[in-house]
């Protein structure tokens, strides 16, 4: 290691592996979400060698502590340590995990720390492992993610007039503007006051709320994705058809 790279060394940083690609003959290129440094690309040299101890540690959806060095676009992994405490995601929960990662990979810039979002991601993986209603878990995460990216949703007040949203009234959600009273115009996404208030409270127990909030979040996330497709959605749709 050179003196310069030693200076750029990070020690025992809490992180999750969002995705990994084979790299060169025996290495892995990791897409990492770290608590203090945000999303990073890190090369794990030799991680694909048959007896590499890194293999069982660099697993997705598992908290790890990573040490790396180097600056610039791709860092080099020095060591990785298993943290444990997160059950393996299985079945539908695993598919939901991929959805979270695909959102993060597509919407989170590099080298931008998002500590709150990191903690929320970690808590969300716990919820996926322990709770049965994944839809509510995903809606909460989507809302948090948009908020962290600077697109906080104001759902309990009308944009402009600042009038509080009423449960029994009908509204439209206009992208990059907010909630407006439904006066028969065609723009925006139609949504009930009840759904808006339930989303504010993160309560998705009502089936109609669950349905409308899913559609609204889909519209909003698609807007921020700017045409990029989420493949996990396709996969989940295919699964539901079976």
Partner 1 sequence: MTVSYLDNLMAALRCLPGVGPKSAQRMAYHLLQRDRVGALQLASALQKAASNVQHCSKCNNFSELEVCELCASTRRDEGQLCVVEMPADLLMIEQAQCYRGMYYVLMGRLSPLDGIGAKQLHLERLVKRVQQHPCEVILATNFTVEGDATAHYLATLLQSLGVRVSRIARGLPVGGELEQVDSGTLAQAVLERRELTV
Stretch that binds partner 1, among 39-47, 167-175, 215-223, 233-241 (CB under 8 A): 233-241
Closest to partner 1 by CB, 60 or 193 = 60
8 A C-beta contact, residue 32 and residue 15: yes
Shortest Å distance, C-beta 235 to partner 1: 5
Residue 149, CA atoms < 13 Å, CB-side half-sphere = 20
Shortest Å distance, C-beta 77 to partner 1: 15
Closest to partner 1 by CB, 186 or 242 = 242
List binders of partner 1 among 134-193 (CB under 8 A): none
Q: Residues binding partner 1: what is the number (CB under 8 A)?
A: 39
Shortest Å distance, C-beta 53 to partner 1: 5
Shortest Å distance, C-beta 42 to partner 1: 16
Establish if 24 lies at the interface with partner 1 (CB under 8 A): yes
List binders of partner 1 among 51-90 (CB under 8 A): 53, 55-57, 59-62, 82, 84, 87-90
Shortest Å distance, C-beta 230 to partner 1: 8
Q: Say how many C-beta atoms besides its own lie within 10 A of residue 56's C-beta.
A: 10
8 A C-beta contact, residue 69 and residue 76: yes
Q: Alpha-carbon torsion 76, 82, 85, 86, what sign?
A: positive
Q: Using CB atoms within 10 Å of the CB of residue 132, give its burial: 0 to 12 exposed, 13 to 18 middle, 19+ buried.
A: exposed
Is residue 185 helix, strand or coil? coil
Nearest to 65 by CA among 97, 17, 126: 17
Q: What is the dihedral of CA 190, 210, 224, 164, to 10 degrees?
A: 50
**Tokens standing for 136?**
């509510």
Residue with tokens 């695993």: 94
8 A C-beta contact, residue 122 and residue 141: no
Closest to partner 1 by CB, 25 or 168 = 25
Stretch that binds partner 1, among 97-105, 141-149, 158-166, 184-192 (CB under 8 A): 97-105
Stretch that binds partner 1, among 5-13, 139-147, 185-193, 228-236 (CB under 8 A): 228-236
Binding site for partner 1 (CB under 8 A): 18-19, 21-25, 53, 55-57, 59-62, 82, 84, 87-92, 94-95, 97-99, 101-102, 105, 230-232, 234-235, 238-239, 242
């Amino acid at each position: 290691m050179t003196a310069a790279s030693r200076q750029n060394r990070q020690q025992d940083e809490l992180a999750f592996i969002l995705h990994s690609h084979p790299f060169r003959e025996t290495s892995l290129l990791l897409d990492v979400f770290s608590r203090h440094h945000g999303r990073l690309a890190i090369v794990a040299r030799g991680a694909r060698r048959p007896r590499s101890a890194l293999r069982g540690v660099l697993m997705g959806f598992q908290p790890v502590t990573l040490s790396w060095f180097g600056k610039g676009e791709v860092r080099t992994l020095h060591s990785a340590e298993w943290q444990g405490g997160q059950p393996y995601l299985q079945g539908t929960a695993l598919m939901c995990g991929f959805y979270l990662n695909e959102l993060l990979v597509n919407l989170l810039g590099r080298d931008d720390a998002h500590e709150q979002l990191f903690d929320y991601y970690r808590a969300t993986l716990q919820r996926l492992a322990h709770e049965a209603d994944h839809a509510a878990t995903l809606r909460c995460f989507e809302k948090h993610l948009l908020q962290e990216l600077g697109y906080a949703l104001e759902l309990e007040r009308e944009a402009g007039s600042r009038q509080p949203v009423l449960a029994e009234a009908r509204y439209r959600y206009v992208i990059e503007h907010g909630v407006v009273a439904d006066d028969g115009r065609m723009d925006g996404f139609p949504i009930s006051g009840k759904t808006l208030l339930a989303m504010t409270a993160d309560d998705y127990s009502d089936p109609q709320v669950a349905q409308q909030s899913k559609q609204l979040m889909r519209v909003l996330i698609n807007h921020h994705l700017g045409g990029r497709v989420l493949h996990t959605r396709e996969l989940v749709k295919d699964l539901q058809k079976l």
